[in-house]
Amino acid sequence: MIANSQFTPAAPLAAAIFLATIGLVIARPWRLTEATAALLGASAMVLMGLVSPSGAASDVAGHWNVLLFFVGLTGAAAVAERSGLFDALAGTSARLSRGNPRRLLVAVVAAGALVAAVLSNDAAALVLTPVVYVLVARFGLSPLPYVLACTFVADAASIALPVSNPVNVIVSDRLGVSAAGLVPVMLPAAAASVVALLGCLLVIYRRELPARAPLVPPSTSWASWTGVPRRLLAASGVAVGAFAVASAANLPLGPTMAAVWLLLLGVEWTIRRFDRPLDGVGWSLLVFVAAMGILVDGLSSAGITAWLAQVVLGQVRDSPALVMVVTAFAAAVGANLVNNLPAAFVFADAVHSAGLSEASAHAAAIGTIIGADLGPNLTPVGSVATLLWFVLLRQRGLEVSTWSYIRVGLIVTPVTILAALGVALLLGLPR
């Protein structure tokens, strides 16, 4: 709606609050957590009268599906982590590699892609990276290529399914696009970007991976699947199946995911009595998402996201293909300037306010998801925040070879985005 793209008088204030919040999220002074920073910003929006209290309440309530989804997802991933699944997966990768460093890299990327797609990108990055590090060290290899592979594949594979990345659900929810309906496009696109990533890594590290690992631990020394409780494996299978059916039937994802979590938790209870079932639920993610919803509502009612939509989509709004490409690159740039979740929020709202045709909205959802999921890998990972992080490390006398990290992102990010976009353009446009 072009008429909508007038700024209200409150626009400068809304923009200032949003930017200050992002600044806090990035710089994190006084050990402020991201959730606290976002909460402060959301409170400021309400206190300054940019969002009414009832509006804020309905923003949070309006995200019930997304919020419930994250409770279920983080809880389910915590069950998976406790079950020893990650060690078993790493052990399988080790055995498949048979002491060949290149095969090990391929196996690690495959394992990371699987975890990222099924259990979300943060699980792959946070839980799998240390496991892989230990695994690679036991081969006497330099862990750098493998640690980076975990980082990158966590994002590259995270466009695959609704569960793979918080961004996916936020974007499709806001744009009114069926998250499950995107899977036939996004799954092949994710496969393309993972393959592209693997190709990049094998080329970049062609001179640094030796022909043979210096140590080859006996294959029996690796964690195996027998360590993972059978019942839990079976329940996971049931859970995945149930989730797929529910998605296909277009049931809301939030309650489905919460039910999956409760199922896994129940099965875990029959194996091992635990004290704190809520351990591992990502409460800070919930607070962050809820607060972000209020912040972006403030931007939206000030007319800023509509203006952004006009700037980005003004010329191309009637061509789904162009909409997809433009949103992908704009979201990728946004994810590097600010954090990827805020970028996804702002973009989803902007696209929403542009009042696109159904085909264009579908294309915009795909483009935004690709850009916001894959984009953050460009600078060391995530955003300017990581650059500040390197500065901090330097000040404390820790030398991290920044270049060895950045150069990989500079190559991998455009290549994976282009690979995913290529597939999405082939499969994701109405014909």
Partner 1 sequence: MSDPRRYLVALAGTEDSALPQRIDRVLGTGDSAVEITLFHVVETGPRELAAYHPAVRRGHWPLPNKDVIEHRLEDADDEEAAALLAVWQERFEAALPGARIAGLVAQGRPEQEIIASAGRLNVDAVILSARPRTGPTEPGPRSVGHVARFVLDHSPVPVLLVRHSR
Of 237, 188, 221, 213, the C-alpha closest to 85 is 237
* Token pair recorded at residue 17: 């609050």
Residues 71-110 binding partner 1 (CB under 8 A) are 74, 77-78, 81
**Contacting range for partner 1; rule: CB under 8 A; set: 61-69, 209-217, 297-305, 420-428:** 209-217
DSSP annotation string for 392-412 = HHHHTT----HHHHHHHHHHH
Fill in the per-residue mask, 43 to 72: x = in contact with partner 1 (CB under 8 A), - = not in contact.
Answer: ------------------------------
**Contacting range for partner 1; rule: CB under 8 A; set: 218-226, 269-277, 280-288, 308-316:** 280-288
DSSP annotation string for 39-91 = HHHHHHHHHTTSS-HHHHHHHHHHTHHHHHHHHHHHHHHHHHHHTTHHHHHHH
Task: Tally Cβ neighbours within 10 Å of residue 29.
Answer: 8
Fill in the per-residue mask, 357 to 386: x = in contact with partner 1 (CB under 8 A), - = not in contact.
Answer: -----------------------xxx--xx
Considering the rule CB under 8 A, would residue 405 count as an interface residue with partner 1? yes
Among 280, 316, 333, 418, binds partner 1 (CB under 8 A): 280
What does the alpha-carbon distance between residue 158 and residue 170 come to, in Å, rounded to a whole number? 13
CB of 335 to partner 1, least distance (A): 11
Among 111, 123, 169, 299, binds partner 1 (CB under 8 A): 123
Fill in the per-residue mask, 133 to 162: x = in contact with partner 1 (CB under 8 A), - = not in contact.
Answer: xx--xx-x-xxx--xx--x--x--------
Considering the rule CB under 8 A, would residue 219 count as an interface residue with partner 1? no
Handedness of CA 310, 315, 319, 324 (dihedral sign): negative
Of 90, 112, 109, 92, the C-alpha closest to 209 is 109
* Token pair recorded at residue 89: 């997966």
What does the alpha-carbon distance between residue 385 and residue 329 come to, in Å, rounded to a whole number? 20
Fill in the per-residue mask, 310 to 339: x = in contact with partner 1 (CB under 8 A), - = not in contact.
Answer: -----------------------------x
Of 270, 260, 275, the C-alpha closest to 75 is 260
What is the phi/psi pair of residue 6, to 5°?
A: -95, 135
Which residues contribute to the site for partner 1 (CB under 8 A)? 33-35, 74, 77-78, 81, 120-123, 125-127, 129-130, 133-134, 137-138, 140, 142-144, 147-148, 151, 154, 166, 207-215, 279-285, 288, 339, 341, 380-382, 385-386, 389, 393, 398-401, 404-405
